[in-house]
Amino acid sequence: MLESWTDEAAKSALIEFAARAVDSVAPEELVAVFDNDGTLWCEKPAYIQLDFLVRRIAEQVAVEPALAAEQPYTAAASGDLGWFGEAVTKHYNGDDSDLKLLAGAVLSANATITTEEHAARVNAFFADAKHPTLGRAYTACGYAPMVELLRYLESLGFTNYIVSGGGRDFMRPVTTAMYGVPPERVIGSSVGLIYHNGELLTTAQPEILNDGPVKPVGIWERVGRRPILAVGNSNGDIEMLQYAVAGPGPSLAMLVCHDDKMREFAYTAGAEKAVAHAEQSGWTRASMRDDWKTVFGD
């Protein structure tokens, strides 16, 4: 039972909550939601999806060199992942100036292809790409204790959903193999799709940025139920965690804290508000350093 977790407060809180929920909540109400980046897999030194997008944007620069005169094409052409990561961190701190530049490039990077072609590009990326500092395949960057938690909840009758700011169609090709969560239970950011001659085609039009207060909306639209367990790690997860614990029955909000510089990374950038909310609201905090016996399971 949660063997990858140390016998500390976080594990006890999870087990006690699960027991109460199973005893007092109807089976169909056992819904758990998990952020992905920084919660289920590694998000530093930059988001995994950013590596995928940067490679695609760099390909566009190779075809049209004049694009390199402006961001984010300048950063992509030089392989500067730091610019992309900083753009997202600035977003979590209320500054969307760079995110707007990034969004424009991202929306055009994989436009006007079928959903199957997009999935093929994603699968090709995961087949070859490795984490730049950990030296492991990205598909081996999932957190073993979190995968174990997913299996534990599943064994008790919970239905698990991934609710991420990351791209829905970027995650879907790998979530079944990595987490045991099928694509129909992945809620994420998305672009508009159009139907044409038997195919669904991607567009360069934004549909949903599944972050912050949009996360509870997306959960309700897709699931039709309030989750009773929510796990996140950043400012963008605050509203999702609040939503889970605002219901009348047993509930639990957990914040994953990145404080293990030896086995993963140590940082609070982009999570400062979430940490403050956790302290004020009594949310459970899971320390990578203190609560996890292992990070990647090897």
Q: What is the pLDDT along the chain (298 residues), one digit of tens a residue?
A: 899 999 999 999 999 999 999 999 999 999 999 999 999 999 998 889 988 988 888 888 898 899 888 888 998 888 777 787 788 778 778 888 888 888 888 888 888 999 999 999 999 999 999 999 999 999 999 999 999 999 999 999 999 999 999 999 999 999 999 999 999 999 999 999 999 999 999 998 989 999 999 999 999 999 999 999 999 999 999 999 999 999 999 999 999 999 999 999 999 989 999 999 999 999 999 999 999 999 998 7
The pLDDT of residue 6:
98
Per the confidence metrics, is the pTM higher than 0.75? yes
Domain ranges of the chain: 9-41+141-191+205-291, 48-109
The pLDDT of residue 75:
87
Cis geometry, peptide bond prior to residue 206 (ω within 30 degrees of 0)? no
Query: Which CATH code is given to the segment(s) 9-41+141-191+205-291?
Result: 3.40.50.1000
The pLDDT of residue 79:
77
